[in-house]
Amino acid sequence: MKKDINFNEYSTEMLEQLKKGAFLTVKDGDKVNTMTIGWGNIGVVWGKPIFTVEVRYSRYTYELLENSKEFTVSIPLNKDLKEELGICGTKSGRDIDKFTECELTPEQGKVLSTPIVGECELHYECKVVYKQAMEPGTLSDEIKEKYYTNNDYHVLYYGEIVATYVKEN
């Protein structure tokens, strides 16, 4: 059963797990891909609940997200999906079907056509309302030197959270 909750009800748990990894899933037509994210933010922008995610230009997810304009974020709260998160963070959806490879279940969400990861308990469904390419010239040298030595910058996607829920047994 999927129980609706306020978008910020599990924010502490979400942010703690995000540091360890969560699944960002995108669907474009019949192409579905999930990738591991370790960065993100929830808050209120333009009077709307927003989940901000960062996706590098080089990622297959970037290609799909540019067309789909929606995404889901699935957070494992009670299950150790470290191995699956590892694969989804190091392998490309261009080369493998990560759902099959990791034995993850693409499950229909509540609002969007983009699936959620069925093995996770906490889910956010988001429609992109704004995107912004990083401007390298405005980034601190410290961050540039630590995360962008190869100049593979991120695009920030602001997703209006249109559904938030927990899966209960």
Q: What is the mean pLDDT of each run of 10 residues along the chain (169 residues)?
A: 94 93 96 95 97 94 95 93 92 91 94 96 98 94 94 96 92
Q: Tell me the CATH number at 59.
A: 2.30.110.10
Range of the domain at 133: 2-167
pTM, to two decimals: 0.95
Domain tally for the chain?
Answer: 1
**What single DSSP character describes residue 77?**
S
**CA dist list (Å): 86 to 20, 24, 25, 109, 126:** 10, 13, 15, 24, 24
Exposure string (b/e) for 87-98, b if CB count within 10 Å is 16 or more? Answer: ebeebebeeeeb
The CA distance from 57 to 124, in Å, is: 23
- For residue 80, the model assigns a pLDDT of 85
Evaluate whether 37 touches 18 at the Cβ level (below 8 Å).
Answer: yes
- For residue 169, the model assigns a pLDDT of 67
Q: Could you give phi then psi for residue 29, rounded to 5 degrees?
A: 65, -120
